[in-house]
Structure 1
Amino acid sequence: MTDLEYEKLSDKTLDHLSEVFENIFDSGDFSDIDNDITYSNGVLTVNLGPKLGTYVINKQTPNKQIWLSSPVSGPKRYDYMNGTWLYKYDRMSLNQLLHQEFSKMFKKDFKQFFFDLNDN
């Protein structure tokens, strides 16, 4: 993948995830969750308050990766393979992990939000 392809793809992914998180919090009653979503300069931060923690998803341009810091599963580095961002060690996609963690955290299935991209 060229640098330009990586930039376009990673920007598209982070833009999409930013919308996903906004849509999730617009979709139901999350008034008890102090959430704050910011996306700037290639860094997406989803702050869920002191009880649930903060997700940070960012571009890692030199490695052509997307990095995730999750309050649930910790840090992971995703490479773009077979049409999706995959974590090499468990072969789970970024969308799969976020879907799993958010669904468990909020006891609601968010599949329709996280699988808008190429993941199935």
Structure 2
Amino acid sequence: MADIPFESLADSLLAALEEGIGSRTDAELQGGVLTVEGDGGIWLVNKHAPTRQIWLSSPRSGARHYAFDSGTGQWRDTRGGDDLLAVLSSELGIALAWRAP
């Protein structure tokens, strides 16, 4: 994936997450890093341009890296795990949705 499509996808995802999560709990997007303060701690979601991944730091599931799967339109765990939205939805108790632009 080229840099420009990655930046566009990642920025779109982070903005959608901020909007979806921010209606239920404290979420702030600044400089490509989304900080979510919930009952169980602090989640950090950020774009990592050198690897073209989204990185998640979670107080529940630890650190994970997600790469965009153009076939499914999802950000998939690079270690064969779940979709990023499924993980965040489960951990935060918030239904989240996003579609690739």
Classify the TM-score, shorter chain.
Answer: 0.7 to 0.9
- Residue identity opposite 2:98 in structure 1: L
Larger radius of gyration: 1
Identity of aligned residues (%): 34
Moved more, 87-96 or 63-72: 87-96
User: Where in structure 1 are there 5+ consecutive unaligned residues?
Assistant: 26-35, 104-109
Aligned length: 98
What residue number does 2:55 align with?
67
Tell me the SS of whatever aligns to 1:24.
coil
Show structure 1 runs of 4+ deviating over 6 A.
Answer: none
TM-score, normalised to structure 2, is 0.88
- Residue identity opposite 1:73 in structure 2: S
Measured against aligned partners, the alpha-carbon deviations of 1:60-84 in whole angstroms (never above 9, x if no partner) come to 0000000000010000000001311
- Residue identity opposite 1:90 in structure 2: G
Name the CA distance, whole Å, in 2 between partners of 1:17 and 1:95: 9
What residue number does 2:65 align with?
77
Q: Which has the higher contact order (CA 8 A, sep 6+)?
A: 2
Trace 1:37-56 onto structure 2 (pairs within 5 A): 37-48=27-38, 52-56=40-44
Measured against aligned partners, the alpha-carbon deviations of 1:51-104 in whole angstroms (never above 9, x if no partner) come to 51100000100000000000100000000013110003233100000111122x
Question: Is contact 2:22-2:28 (8 Å) kept?
Answer: no
TM-score, normalised to structure 1, is 0.75
Name the CA distance, whole Å, in 2 between partners of 1:5 and 1:12: 11
Which structure's residues are more often strand, by fraction?
2
Cα RMSD after superposing both structures: 1.7
